[in-house]
Amino acid sequence: MAIKLKIDRQDVEVPEGTTVLDAAAEAGVHIPTLCHVPKVTSPGSCRVCLVEIEGARTLQPACVTPVTEGMIVRTHSKRARQGRQMSVELLLANHPWDCNACVRNGQCELQTLAQTMGITDVRFPYTREEVPVDTSTAAVVRDMNKCILCRRCVAVCQDVQGVGSLAPRARGFDTVIGAGAGENLCDAVCVQCGQCAAICPVGAIYEQDAIEDVWRALDDPEKHVVVQTAPAIRAALGECFGLEPGTCVTGKMVAALRRLGFAKVFDTNFTADLTIIEEGHELLTRLKTALVDKGEVSLPMFTSCSPGWINFMEYFYPGLLPNLSSCKSPQQMFGALAKTYYAEKEGIDPKNIVVVSVMPCTAKKFEADREEMVDSGFKDVDYVLTTRELGRMIQEAGIDFMKLPDEEQDSPMGMSTGAADIFANTGGVMEAALRTVYEVVTGRELPMEKLHVAPIQGLDGLKEVALTFEKCQPDWSFLEGVTAKVAVAHGLSNARKVCDMVADGEGGYHFVEVMCCPGGCIGGGGQPRMTTDEVRQSRIKAIYTEDEGRTMRKSHENPAVTQIYAEFLGEPLGHKSHELLHTHYHAKEPV
């Protein structure tokens, strides 16, 4: 049913159940908010969206007040303006004033709000007791002195990711957002996805900064510093320089990295292609064991690219760890190969090679520190920067990003296909795998328009598709007539649904792709803020466009991948692959 109301003297008609906030947006009126994030949370706690509603005794929070027939709303009457100013002023009274030294300076929602509201003075003294800053994890820093208690992080951790590491504790002035039941995040069940950092409106949660480490390596003449960039960076880095979400900046990104001083600008896409070869063969081997040898094998196989997802499995579903592909993530495959294959090829002592990753992800920082990740004989990946950190480095170096020419990655570890591009988004790893697996098995190209697997595209939390193999190649004749059922989940609360199904023996899936963050890596915890569904869709579109623009769109077509098997690895799942490209997982005690 349509509801008619007046907002700032304008007639508005919206469906029943619409909030005053959304109705105002329809009428072109932006009401500020701090706690409200569309589709994630609307706790009505920050009181920044107060509006005057005729007949109501007090000002009402627009984000949680539904419209009613004939309602008369004033969003910028004197009373509404003063009410909102007071809310912000009270928040500021409880917030440190060292904006200049804050990582969010210039990108802080509270700072912006204070400025927009014309607040130049705060009448209330700052009385907050200082608490220690939590730097206990590799992924994020939590500075609860700056927290405004909006609870966005709690909502994203509990509801979107279903992890529940964060929750408010104590009450009144003593209220603080705590981790687990202890002091530090490292003692809590945290998958390190960084969604809390990506959604925080202020400088209370942010990534562990590796910029200084990277500068130090670049400044060291002894070091040969190479960089890899994850597929999702190119679709988001431009946002750090004011470009619209969904602007692909691959060429400028490469140019910027070269100007920062990296000896070689490589691409995680290269090892994404390699992952498809290894993981595809692993899947086919598992299927063969199940169908032909009738042996014990764990199916469905889960993808293993996303370190937050790996943490989630290790904490919550240790019984399903055998279902995880043993393939390392593309980041870690890259590190292991850079310090072996590349070092050998170029005659560089691997101890002098420094591998820097640029990732859309904070859990990648944790992953690089995992004790298993030293198969090259060294720490495979030395430093991980998020997209946001790379943006800051480029700015710090004074590089005029918009004026950069488009440049190309270096050979051989910079060469990749469109299949690697789409690792960036939900459904992409599965689509890339199907492009190769179907062609390996049948000798024919995946019979889908533009090679896209439409049912597993898009932002639905849980997607599935079935694919029947017909007229198989002789080696794969055991798959003749077999219908492979695959599923794709993104966001850990959706992953939990798949895990529960698999644990209960339901679903009948053969292969499941899981990405920890909503939308996949393009929506990672290290991406430029704010990642809304519209932003996710724009970035995904940019990635598909990048993929479609390539001449090579299947991982097995990558000549650098063929070359590395010929020169170094031997064969997929071979001895050297197992040594360098595969790993194992451990159950973690949920504390």
Partner 1 sequence: MANTCKCEGNCSSVVYQELDAFMADCPKGRDKLIPVLQKAQELFGYLPVEVQEYVAKALELPVSEVYGVVTFYHYFTMEPRGRHTINVCLGTACYVRGAKKIVDALSENLNIKMGGTTEDRRFSLTTQRCFGACGLAPVIMINDDVHGRVTPKKIAGILAQYE
Residue with Cβ nearer partner 1 (150 or 581)? 150
Residues 6 or more apart whose CB falls under 8 angstroms from that of 241 comprise 391, 394, 401, 402
Residue choice 4, 76, 169, 575 for contact with partner 1 (CB under 8 A): 169
Asked whether position 591 contacts partner 1 by CB under 8 A, the answer is: yes
- Residue 289, token pair as written in the block: 């064991």
The catalytic residue among 153, 305, 361, 517 is 305
Residue choice 85, 112, 158, 493 for contact with partner 1 (CB under 8 A): 158
Q: Is 94 exposed, middle or buried (0-12, 13-18, 19+ CB in 10 A)?
A: middle
Phi and psi angles of residue 76, each rounded to the nearest 5 degrees, phi first: -130, 35
- Residue 75, token pair as written in the block: 């969003």
CA–CA separation, 38 and 535 (whole Å): 12
Asked whether position 436 contacts partner 1 by CB under 8 A, the answer is: no
Asked whether position 163 contacts partner 1 by CB under 8 A, the answer is: yes
Residue with Cβ nearer partner 1 (197 or 265)? 197
Closest residue by Cα to residue 150 from 107, 99, 88: 88
- Residue 191, token pair as written in the block: 């998958």
Asked whether position 587 contacts partner 1 by CB under 8 A, the answer is: no
The catalytic residue among 207, 239, 278, 279 is 279
Closest residue by Cα to residue 464 from 481, 439, 489, 483: 489
Asked whether position 491 contacts partner 1 by CB under 8 A, the answer is: no
* CB 425, CB 520: distance < 8 Å: yes
Contact window for partner 1 (CB under 8 A) among 22-30, 164-172, 360-368, 540-548: 164-172
Residue with Cβ nearer partner 1 (162 or 350)? 162
470 labelled catalytic: no
Contact window for partner 1 (CB under 8 A) among 160-168, 225-233, 293-301, 396-404: 160-168
Asked whether position 131 contacts partner 1 by CB under 8 A, the answer is: no
Residue choice 123, 171, 294, 584 for contact with partner 1 (CB under 8 A): 171
Asked whether position 165 contacts partner 1 by CB under 8 A, the answer is: yes
* CB 33, CB 49: distance < 8 Å: yes
Q: What SS3 state is found at 511? A: strand
Asked whether position 189 contacts partner 1 by CB under 8 A, the answer is: yes
Site for partner 1 in 105-124 (CB under 8 A): none
Asked whether position 178 contacts partner 1 by CB under 8 A, the answer is: yes
367 labelled catalytic: yes
Mark out the alpha helices in 292-370 (DSSP H runs): 307-316, 330-337, 343-346, 363-368
Q: Is 396 exposed, middle or buried (0-12, 13-18, 19+ CB in 10 A)?
A: exposed
**DSSP tag of 176:** E
Question: Smallest distance from the beta carbon of 322 to partner 1, in angstroms?
Answer: 23
Asked whether position 180 contacts partner 1 by CB under 8 A, the answer is: yes
Residue with Cβ nearer partner 1 (174 or 222)? 174
364 labelled catalytic: yes
Asked whether position 166 contacts partner 1 by CB under 8 A, the answer is: yes
- Residue 299, token pair as written in the block: 């199916």
Distance between start and end Cα atoms, the chain = 48
The catalytic residue among 42, 306, 325, 538 is 325
499 labelled catalytic: no
Residue with Cβ nearer partner 1 (56 or 591)? 591
Asked whether position 319 contacts partner 1 by CB under 8 A, the answer is: no
The catalytic residue among 339, 364, 463, 554 is 364
Phi and psi angles of residue 563, each rounded to the nearest 5 degrees, phi first: -65, -40
Asked whether position 504 contacts partner 1 by CB under 8 A, the answer is: no
472 labelled catalytic: no
Phi and psi angles of residue 198, each rounded to the nearest 5 degrees, phi first: -75, -25
The catalytic residue among 52, 207, 239, 282 is 282
Residues 6 or more apart whose CB falls under 8 angstroms from that of 470 comprise 442, 480, 481
Strand ranges (E), 208-296 = 224-229, 264-265
Residue with Cβ nearer partner 1 (402 or 591)? 591
* CB 10, CB 48: distance < 8 Å: no
CA–CA separation, 346 and 413 (whole Å): 12
Residues 6 or more apart whose CB falls under 8 angstroms from that of 337 comprise 271, 376, 413, 564, 568, 580, 581
Closest residue by Cα to residue 163 from 198, 196, 200, 197: 196
* CB 245, CB 539: distance < 8 Å: yes
Residue with Cβ nearer partner 1 (133 or 591)? 591
Residue with Cβ nearer partner 1 (7 or 179)? 179
431 labelled catalytic: no
CA torsion through residues 575, 580, 582, 587, sign: positive
Residue with Cβ nearer partner 1 (500 or 534)? 500
The catalytic residue among 361, 521, 538, 577 is 521
- By rule CB under 8 A, what count of residues binds partner 1? 19
Asked whether position 182 contacts partner 1 by CB under 8 A, the answer is: yes
314 labelled catalytic: no
Question: Smallest distance from the beta carbon of 181 to partner 1, in angstroms?
Answer: 4
How many CA atoms are closer than 13 Å to the CA of 159, on its beta-carbon side?
A: 12
Residue with Cβ nearer partner 1 (311 or 531)? 311
Residue with Cβ nearer partner 1 (181 or 566)? 181
- Residue 89, token pair as written in the block: 């002023």
403 labelled catalytic: no
The catalytic residue among 13, 372, 506, 534 is 372
Pattern 54-83, binding to partner 1, x per CB under 8 A? ------------------------------
CA–CA separation, 447 and 127 (whole Å): 65
Question: Smallest distance from the beta carbon of 511 to partner 1, in angstroms?
Answer: 28
Residue choice 38, 43, 66, 168 for contact with partner 1 (CB under 8 A): 168
Asked whether position 167 contacts partner 1 by CB under 8 A, the answer is: yes
**How are strands ordered across the β-sheet holding 511-515?**
301-302, 511-515, 483-490, 462-468
Contact window for partner 1 (CB under 8 A) among 180-188, 212-220, 458-466, 568-576: 180-188
**Residue numbers annotated as active site:** 279, 282, 305, 325, 364, 367, 372, 521
Sites of contact with partner 1 (CB under 8 A) = 158, 163-171, 178-182, 188-189, 590-591
